[in-house]
Amino acid sequence: MTEEIMLKGCLENNAASQEALYTRLSPKMLGVCYRFAKNREDAEDMLQEGFIKVFAQIHQYRNEGALEGWIRRIVVHTCINILKKNKKFSDSVDISYANGVGIREENIPSIMQAKQVVECIRLLPVGYRTVLNLYAIEGYSHKEIGSMLDIEESTSRSQYTRAKVMLEEILVKKNILLRPRNKGIALTGAVANN
């Protein structure tokens, strides 16, 4: 079923088209939710709420951009809204946590998988993780993030900077990245070969 047919069916509230769209996009969207969520169950709840909004608001889609991108934005906003109910994103996290992460100097080959990166992101405190997800992966600006999370733009910047440092340390510790040298960082050999 093409995207066009699926979209048309969804606009007509056709269950088969809705299921087809869900089946096609839900794995990726659940991956998005999982980066924001505390655990898989929370991620599935976010996904569920997100897709309910998608199907409820599908008539607002204007064909101005990819349908997947439009759905992704709704899912991300749903995640943020759910997180906002439980967490203040202005809370800062002690950077010493990141500093405390041990760094392996030696180059130990490791298979880098998407899941490992995502799991490392999920090791970050929720505030850092959310800002990093929104800025680095979802492509929102700090101004937009500030607006979404009800925090200052500068807070978003500082949180992102700290999150990035912390994530680098974690990736290095997990042998996913080599220790940054000069201005760059290096992936381990196995990753580079991917």
Partner 1 sequence: MDRNLDIDNFELLLRERSDEFKMYPTKRIWHSIYNNIHPGRKWPSIAMSITLIAILLLFGYLNTNNKILKQEAVYSVDFARNTLINNNFLFFTPPSFEFVSFDKFQQKHLQTFADNSTLNALAKNSESNAEETSKLFFAQNIRSIKNSAQKTNLNTITAKTIAEANFNLIGNEPVLKYSSAIQAGIKNELLISVKVKLPVLYNLRNTNTLVENDAIVSAEKTIAQIITENNQLVNSADFNNANPISQKAEVIENKNTLSGNNPLTTTKEESSITNEEKEWIENYALYNRAAPKKWAGKLAWQMYITPSVVYRDLKNTISTEADINKSVIQHPSFGLEIGGGILYPIFKGVKFKTGLQLNFTRYNTEAYGNSHPVATTIMLHSATGQLFPAYRSTPYSNGDGITPIKLHNETFQISIPIGVDVKIAGNENLQWNIGATIQPSYIIAGKSYLISSDKRNYIKESSMLNRFNLDAGFETFISYKTNNGFIFQAGPQFRKQLFTTNSKQYIIEERLNNYGFKFGISKLIK
User: Is residue 180 helix, strand or coil?
Assistant: strand
Give 5 or 185: the residue with its C-beta nearer to partner 1: 185
Give 74 or 150: the residue with its C-beta nearer to partner 1: 74
User: Is residue 60 helix, strand or coil?
Assistant: helix
Give 150 or 179: the residue with its C-beta nearer to partner 1: 179
Instruction: Decide: is 107 part of the binding site for partner 1 (CB under 8 A).
Output: yes
Q: Residue 127 and residue 151: Cα distance in Å, rounded?
A: 11
> Residues 61 to 90: which contact partner 1 by CB under 8 A?
none
DSSP 79-95: HHHHHHHH--TT----T
Q: Residue 67 and residue 30: Cα distance in Å, rounded?
A: 16
In the complex, least distance from residue 29 CB atom to partner 1, rounded to whole angstroms: 9
Q: Residue 59 and residue 20: Cα distance in Å, rounded?
A: 17
- The residue ranges that bind partner 1 (CB under 8 A) are 13, 15, 18-19, 22-23, 26-28, 30-31, 34-35, 38-41, 43-44, 47-48, 51-52, 55-56, 107, 112, 114-115, 117-118, 121, 132, 135-137, 139, 164, 167-168, 178, 180-181, 183-189, 192-193
